[in-house]
Structure 1
Amino acid sequence: MPPPASTLDEFLTQLDAEGRLVHVERFRARAAVHGSLDRPLPDDVGKRVGLDGLWSHQAEAINHARAGRSVVVATGTASGKSLCYQLPIAEAVADPVRPGTALLLFPTKALAHDQLRSLAEFEFPDVVAATYDGDSNPEQRTWVRNNANVVLTNPEMLHHGLLPHHGRWSTFLMRLRFVVVDELHVLRGIFGTHVAHLLRRLRRIAQRYGSDPTFIFSSATIGQPSRLAGELCGLPVAEVSSDGSPRGPRTFALLNPPIVDEESGVRTSTNAETAVVTAGLVRSGHRTISFCRSRKGTELVAADVARRLPADQRDQVKPYRAGYLAAERREIEDELFSGRLRAVVATSALELGVDIGGLDAVVLNGFPGTIASMWQQAGRAGRELQESASVLVAGDDALDQWLMAHPHEVFERQPEPAVINIANPFIAVPHLACAAYEQPLARSDERWWPAELLHDGVRDLVRDDALRLRIRRGEPQAVWATRGYPSRGMGLRNGGGREFRIAFADGTLVGTVDE
C-alpha cells in the first residue's frame, strides 16, 4: 500500500501513476451571485437568519412563495435550497393576523431529522417544529398533532397516519399555508406516481378545511423540473434553476478497475476498488463518504475499508443503510455530524440533501444510474467551499464501461428528466379508494383527477364492492363500503410494499428488510 498522500491532488496523482484513472475533470471555484427580495422580511425572521444577502436563486424562489405561487428550486448541492422554504414558513407561522402551518415531506427519516436540526438552530419566533414518522411513539404523535405548526414527515406517514385521520388534524389543515416537497428528483417512476396521487389527496382534504397551500419543491439539477413538479401537485409551478451560490474547486476522476485476466477481460471487483480508494483517502486525512448501490454492498465495502486501515482508525468507518433500528441510525448520524467518523459507506439514504459539513471526498461504487444522481452524490463533498474530489469507480456492466470509454459523456450530458404516469390504474385505483375513505368521491373530484381516470376507477371499485354509490343532495357519491383502512398494506416505493421485521426469539428487533 502506497504511503498516505497529504493533499487530494497528490492522492489522485498516485492513482493515476498506478494506471487506474482514465480521466480527470477539474472545475474552478465559483463566486456567489446575490439577489434581493420584493419586500423585506419581518425583523424577527431576518435578524435570526443574519442575512448578509440572499443568493439570486434564493431571493427568486422566496419571492414566488411569498406571492402564493408554487415554485421548484432546482440547483446544485449545498446551494442553500432549504432557506427557500424556511424563511417563508417562519414568516407565515409568525403572521399576527392569520398564523399559518407548514407540512414538509422528505423521502427519508434521516433528511427530516437533519432539517429539524437546521430549523432549531435558527430559533425562529413562534415556530414549533417536530418530526412525525415511524420512529415516533403514540405519545409523541399526539403531542405533534396538538402543538406543532411545522411538521416534518415522509410520504408514508402522510399516506398512513395523517390523511386517513384528517379529523384529528383539522386545525393544522385549516391553517395550512405551505407544503414543501424536498428532493423532487427522486420522485420518479412508481414512487413519484404514488406521491402525485398523495398530493392530490392532500389538496382535496385541505380544501375541505378551507385552505389552499402553496407548494415549494426543492431538487437537485434535473431535466424539466417544473414539468415534474406540476404533474406531482396538479398546479402550475414556477421554475428557479439558475444557481447563484458559490462553490469551491472540485476534481472529478473516473477510475476503471485494473484487468486481472487479459484473456477474459475480467477486472478487479468494484467493491474491492471502492474499499482501496476509500481507505487511501482516510489514511491521507480526508473525510470521505462512499456510495454503494445495495445494502449488502455497504456492509461488504465498510468491512473491507476497516480491514485496510490501521487498528486505531477502524472504528471510524461505519456503514449506513435502510433497515437499521432508529437508535442505530441516530447514533451513526450523530457520529457523522460531529466529525468522529472519518468515513461512512452508505446507500442513497445519504445521497439526499443531508447537510454533512467537512466532507472532502466522495467515492461512487459504480455509476448510480442517472447523471442527476451522480452529481447529487458527488455534491456531498466540498459543502464548506473547501477543495473536494469525487472518484467514480466503474462497474463491469456495459453502461459503466461505455462511460469509461467515452468520459466526455459523463460531464457534457444534461441531467435526465424524471417521469411519472398518473394514469397508471394499478396505482391510481388504490389511491381513489383511499380518497373515498377520507371523503366520498363525487363529480367535483374531477378537479383533482382526470375525469376518465376518476370514473373508471370508481366503476372498478364499485364492481369490487369496495365502494357503493349513494345520492346525496341530488348528486351521486361513491362512499367507502368495507372495513379497515384502504391505505393499510399499500406501499408507496414499490409494487409489493411489504416489509419484514427481523427479530430474535425473545422478540428483540434486529432490523427490517424489504420483500
Structure 2
Amino acid sequence: MATDVAPAWADILDGEEIAYRGVEPPRTARTEPLPDNLDPRVASALVATGVTSLYQHQAEAWEAASRGENVVVTTGTASGKSLAFNLPVLDAIARAPKTRALYVYPTKALAQDQARALAGLRLKGLKPAIYDGDTPAERRWQIRKWSNLILTNPDMLHVGVLPHHDRWGDVLHNLRFVVVDEAHVYRGVFGSHVANVLRRLRRLARIYDAGPQFLLASATIANAGELAQALTGEPATVVERDTSPKAEREVVIWNPPLLDPELGQRASALGEAARLLSQLTTRGLRTICFAKSRKAAELIHRFTAERVDAATAKRLAPYRAGYTPEQRREIERRLVEGELLGVTATDALELGIDIGLLDCAISVGFPGTVASLRQQWGRAGRRERGLAVLVASEDALDQFFAREPEALLSRNVEAAILDHANPRILDPHVLSAAFEAPLDEGDADTLGGEALERAAALPELEHTPAGYVWKGRDYPAARISLRSGDADSFTVVDAETGSVLGLVERERAYSTVHEGAVYLHLGEQYLVEELDLEGRVALVAPVNVDWYTQVKKETETTIEEAERIESRLGVDLHFGRVSVSEQVIAYARKAVRDGSTIDVVPMLMPETTFETEAIWFSPEPAHLEGLEQMPTLLGTLHAA
C-alpha cells in the first residue's frame, strides 16, 4: 500500500457533493513489555508472530483477568481486543491443557477468522476447533472430546450444546473461560435472548462444578460495564482507554447532487456510492463500502463493476448473508490475501473479521447508530492515512447530518440496551432451562429471581420435589429463534444447472424471491421463475436486464395491550404490545439508470404477522388542527 494515499483521492473530493471534509488526528501507541508472569511458551509463540509488547489496555486486561475478574474491553477497531482476551486463555491452557475455553461469536465468519489466527500461533497443546451448524456430524464428538478451545455462536450454544449438556460434561466441568466477542452486537431482542443463553450456560457450568470467567470485547459503547453484567449476570472490570496507534483519517460527508430543487429530490445514494467506489478502486485504493440491505450491496457492486475496466471488475465482490459457506469463505480468503480491491458489504463485515489493511471506507446511509458508523469507518486507514465517507441518503436524518455535520461528528456513541427479564423473551428460556435440569431456588443466582417467578406461572412446567421440570416430550430450545427470525429458509436454485446459489429467510423470501423478481447474487442477475411455498424453493434463471424489482407492501398495526400510559404536555403516551401484519401486494420494475418505475405488477403473497412492543401517542384533537395539510407530517417521526 502507498505510504501516502491522500493525493490519490484528493481530486475526487472537490465537487458540490462534499457537505463536510475534515481530518481526525493520528494517535501514537503506548506499550508495555510482555508480562513477566506470562507462560514462556505463550510468550515465545507471540514473539514468533511479531508480538513483542502489549498495548497498555491489553496489559490492563491481562492484570484484571489474572486477578480472576470478569473483564470487558471496549476500544476501537483494530485495537488488539482479540489478544487482550486470548492471553489469559492461552496462558491457562499452556499451564493446564485440560482447561477448556468457549469462544462465542455472533457470526460464523468471525469464528473462522479467529480459528485461523489461533492456528497460526502454533502453540503446543492448543487445540482450537469450530463447532457450528456447518460442522460435520462425525467431527462433533471429536471436538467435544479433544478440543480445549471451542469456537461457536449463540445459536449453536442455545440448541446444540445446552440441551445436550450430558454430552458436554467434560467440557463444562473444565470450563475456565467464556469469551464473548463483539459484545456490542448483543442488544435489543437478540441481546436479550443471548443474555438468557449465557445465564443458562453459567447454571450448567455450576452444576458441573465449574465457575468460568467471562472475557468480553466490544466496540466503543457508552455502557460497556452495564452491558457485560446484563449479558452474563455478573459484574465485570471495564478496560476502555484505547492505547493502540491510529493513523490520520480524512472524514467526508457526501450529499448526492440535487436533481429537482423544488421537490428536494437527489441523485441515488447507491449510484453515488458506486461512482465513488469505482473512482477509488480504479486508483488502486483498497475500499470497503457498507450498504444497509443485501439488495443495496448487490446493486452497488453491479453498478461499480459496470463503471470500471475488466481487470478492476475482477477484483470487486459483494459480501452479505445468504451465501453458501463455501462462497463466504472464498470471498473472505480473497479479502485476507489482498486479491480484492473493493467489496460492497452489509454489516456482516462491520464486525471484527481481519480483512487486512484498507485505505477507504464508505457508509451508504447513516447505519442507525454512531457506534456502527465508527465501527465501519474504523476499517479505513488502520496503519496509513485513510478516508472515511458517509454518503447521505434521502432519509430526513441523513439530510439533517449533511446540513449539520457537527451534530453527527460530535455525538457520543450510544449505549447498548437489552432486557433479558422481558417475560416474552424470558419464558421460553425458563422452559429450556427446566428441560436441561430441574429448576429450584438455588438457580436464582445464575438465572435471576425473575426466572423462578416465571417458572411458577408457566403451565408447561411441573413442580416436583426436585424442582420445576419440563412436562413435554420435545425440547423447547428448538422453538426459539434468538434472532427473532423464522428458521424456515428458502433455497435459491439455478434452474438451468440445479446448483444451489444461496438461502433466503422466509420473512425475506416474499420480498426478494417472489415470481418475477430479479434476484442478485454475487453481482449476477437471476429472474425468479417459480417460488414453491410448500417446498421452500425458488427456481431462478440467469438474465441480463436493465431493471430491478421492488415490492409494495401493505402494513397494518393492531394494538393488543397497553401496558403503561403517561401524560406529557397534554399528550397521552402509551407503551404496550402490538401485532404487525405485512403483505406483499405488488412489485415494481425500476430502471437501473435512474430508479424510475417502468410498471407495477399486482400479486398477493402470504400475510406475515409478528408481535412486538411499541410506543404510540394520542394527541388531543385540538393539537391536530391544520396538520392534515402538512405534506411532511410523517417526517416528524424522525424527532422521536
Matched residue, 1:479: 469
| Residue range with higher mean Cα deviation, 430-439 or 49-58 | 49-58
Tell me: CA distance 1:7–1:49, structure 2 relative to 1, closer, same or farther (3 Å).
closer
Please give the alpha-carbon distance, in whole angstroms, between the structure 1 residues aligned to 2:94 and 2:452. Answer: 42
Q: Assess if the C-alpha contact under 8 Å between 1:35 and 1:58 holds in 2.
A: no
What SS is found at the alignment partner of 1:401? helix
Which letter maps to 1:418?
A: A
Q: Assess if the C-alpha contact under 8 Å between 2:189 and 2:483 holds in 1.
A: yes
Which structure would you say has the larger RCO, counting Cα contacts within 8 Å and 6 or more residues apart? 1
Q: Assess if the C-alpha contact under 8 Å between 2:9 and 2:280 holds in 1.
A: no
What SS is found at the alignment partner of 1:487? helix
Matches within 5 A, 1:338-417: 338-383=337-382, 385-417=383-415
- 1:54 matches 2:54: yes
2:31 to 28, 34, 37: 34
Please give the alpha-carbon distance, in whole angstroms, between the structure 2 residues aligned to 1:39 and 1:440. Answer: 45
2:462 to 448, 455, 468: 468
The structural deviation recorded for 1:14 is 2.6
Matched residue, 1:317: 316
Please give the alpha-carbon distance, in whole angstroms, between the structure 2 residues aligned to 1:439 and 1:229. Answer: 25
Q: Assess if the C-alpha contact under 8 Å between 1:62 and 1:88 holds in 2.
A: yes
The structural deviation recorded for 1:16 is 3.2
Tell me: CA distance 1:359–1:38, structure 2 relative to 1, closer, same or farther (3 Å).
closer
Q: Assess if the C-alpha contact under 8 Å between 1:65 and 1:88 holds in 2.
A: yes
Please give the alpha-carbon distance, in whole angstroms, between the structure 2 residues aligned to 1:446 and 1:454. Answer: 7
What SS is found at the alignment partner of 1:373? helix
Matched residue, 1:493: 483
The structural deviation recorded for 1:39 is 4.5
The structural deviation recorded for 1:311 is 1.6
Q: Assess if the C-alpha contact under 8 Å between 2:251 and 2:388 holds in 1.
A: yes
Please give the alpha-carbon distance, in whole angstroms, between the structure 1 residues aligned to 2:136 and 2:22. Answer: 48
Please give the alpha-carbon distance, in whole angstroms, between the structure 1 residues aligned to 2:302 and 2:105. Answer: 30
1:45 to 42, 51, 57: 42
Please give the alpha-carbon distance, in whole angstroms, between the structure 2 residues aligned to 1:75 and 1:187. Answer: 16
The structural deviation recorded for 1:146 is 1.6
Q: Where does structure 2 lack aligned partners over 5 or more consecutive residues?
A: 508-640
Tell me: CA distance 1:79–1:318, structure 2 relative to 1, closer, same or farther (3 Å).
same
What SS is found at the alignment partner of 1:173? helix
Please give the alpha-carbon distance, in whole angstroms, between the structure 2 residues aligned to 1:499 and 1:408. Answer: 44
The structural deviation recorded for 1:302 is 0.7
Please give the alpha-carbon distance, in whole angstroms, between the structure 2 residues aligned to 1:489 and 1:141. Answer: 23
- 1:271 matches 2:270: yes
Which letter maps to 2:448?
A: P
Q: Assess if the C-alpha contact under 8 Å between 1:499 and 1:512 holds in 2.
A: no
Q: Assess if the C-alpha contact under 8 Å between 2:357 and 2:381 holds in 1.
A: yes
Q: Assess if the C-alpha contact under 8 Å between 1:362 and 1:380 holds in 2.
A: yes
What SS is found at the alignment partner of 1:94? helix
Matches within 5 A, 1:200-349: 200-349=199-348
The structural deviation recorded for 1:25 is 2.0
Please give the alpha-carbon distance, in whole angstroms, between the structure 2 residues aligned to 1:110 and 1:381. Answer: 20
- The superposition leaves residues 413-440 of structure 1 with CA deviations (integer Å, 9 ceiling, x where unpaired) of 1100000012211100000011011111
What SS is found at the alignment partner of 1:179? strand
The structural deviation recorded for 1:508 is 5.0
The structural deviation recorded for 1:503 is 4.3
- The superposition leaves residues 476-507 of structure 1 with CA deviations (integer Å, 9 ceiling, x where unpaired) of x111111111111311112x433413144798
- The superposition leaves residues 126-179 of structure 1 with CA deviations (integer Å, 9 ceiling, x where unpaired) of 110011111111012222112110001100000010101111111111111110
Which letter maps to 2:20?
A: H
Matches within 5 A, 1:47-86: 47-50=44-47, 51-86=51-86
Q: Assess if the C-alpha contact under 8 Å between 2:34 and 2:43 holds in 1.
A: no
Which letter maps to 1:100?
A: T
Give 1 or 2 for the bigger CA radius of gyration: 2
Please give the alpha-carbon distance, in whole angstroms, between the structure 1 residues aligned to 2:456 and 2:504. Answer: 36
Please give the alpha-carbon distance, in whole angstroms, between the structure 2 residues aligned to 1:7 and 1:64. Answer: 39
Q: Assess if the C-alpha contact under 8 Å between 1:467 and 1:481 holds in 2.
A: yes
Please give the alpha-carbon distance, in whole angstroms, between the structure 1 residues aligned to 2:33 and 2:60. Answer: 8
Please give the alpha-carbon distance, in whole angstroms, between the structure 2 residues aligned to 1:508 and 1:501. Answer: 14
Please give the alpha-carbon distance, in whole angstroms, between the structure 2 residues aligned to 1:295 and 1:208. Answer: 43
What SS is found at the alignment partner of 2:95? coil
Identity rate, percent? 43
Which letter maps to 1:174?
A: H
Matched residue, 1:18: 15
Q: Assess if the C-alpha contact under 8 Å between 2:41 and 2:94 holds in 1.
A: no
Which letter maps to 2:446?
A: W
Q: Where does structure 1 lack aligned partners over 5 or more consecutive residues?
A: none
Which letter maps to 2:265?
A: V
What SS is found at the alignment partner of 2:271? helix
Matched residue, 2:91: 91
Please give the alpha-carbon distance, in whole angstroms, between the structure 2 residues aligned to 1:207 and 1:114. Answer: 30
- The superposition leaves residues 67-97 of structure 1 with CA deviations (integer Å, 9 ceiling, x where unpaired) of 210010000111111001111111111224x
- The superposition leaves residues 366-395 of structure 1 with CA deviations (integer Å, 9 ceiling, x where unpaired) of 111101101111111223x11111111011
- The superposition leaves residues 82-132 of structure 1 with CA deviations (integer Å, 9 ceiling, x where unpaired) of 001111111111224x74111000111111100111111111221100111
Q: Assess if the C-alpha contact under 8 Å between 1:37 and 1:60 holds in 2.
A: no
The structural deviation recorded for 1:277 is 0.8
What SS is found at the alignment partner of 2:481? coil
Matched residues, number: 500
Matched residue, 1:510: 501
| Residue range with higher mean Cα deviation, 504-513 or 106-115 | 504-513
Matched residue, 1:429: 427
Matched residue, 2:177: 178
The structural deviation recorded for 1:8 is 4.5
Q: Assess if the C-alpha contact under 8 Å between 2:203 and 2:447 holds in 1.
A: no
| Residue range with higher mean Cα deviation, 119-128 or 6-15 | 6-15
Please give the alpha-carbon distance, in whole angstroms, between the structure 2 residues aligned to 1:234 and 1:320. Answer: 35
What SS is found at the alignment partner of 2:76? coil
| TM-score normalised by L of structure 1 | 0.94
The structural deviation recorded for 1:219 is 0.7
Which letter maps to 2:203?
A: R
What SS is found at the alignment partner of 2:476? coil
Q: Assess if the C-alpha contact under 8 Å between 1:73 and 1:239 holds in 2.
A: yes
What SS is found at the alignment partner of 1:447? helix
RMSD of the TM alignment (CA)?
1.8
- The superposition leaves residues 273-292 of structure 1 with CA deviations (integer Å, 9 ceiling, x where unpaired) of 11111111100110111101
Please give the alpha-carbon distance, in whole angstroms, between the structure 2 residues aligned to 1:142 and 1:455. Answer: 33
| TM-score normalised by L of structure 2 | 0.76
Please give the alpha-carbon distance, in whole angstroms, between the structure 1 residues aligned to 2:68 and 2:304. Answer: 50
What SS is found at the alignment partner of 1:163? helix
Please give the alpha-carbon distance, in whole angstroms, between the structure 2 residues aligned to 1:254 and 1:492. Answer: 35
The structural deviation recorded for 1:36 is 5.5
- 1:459 matches 2:456: yes
Matches within 5 A, 1:125-140: 125-140=124-139
What SS is found at the alignment partner of 1:322? coil
- The superposition leaves residues 343-364 of structure 1 with CA deviations (integer Å, 9 ceiling, x where unpaired) of 1111111100011112111111
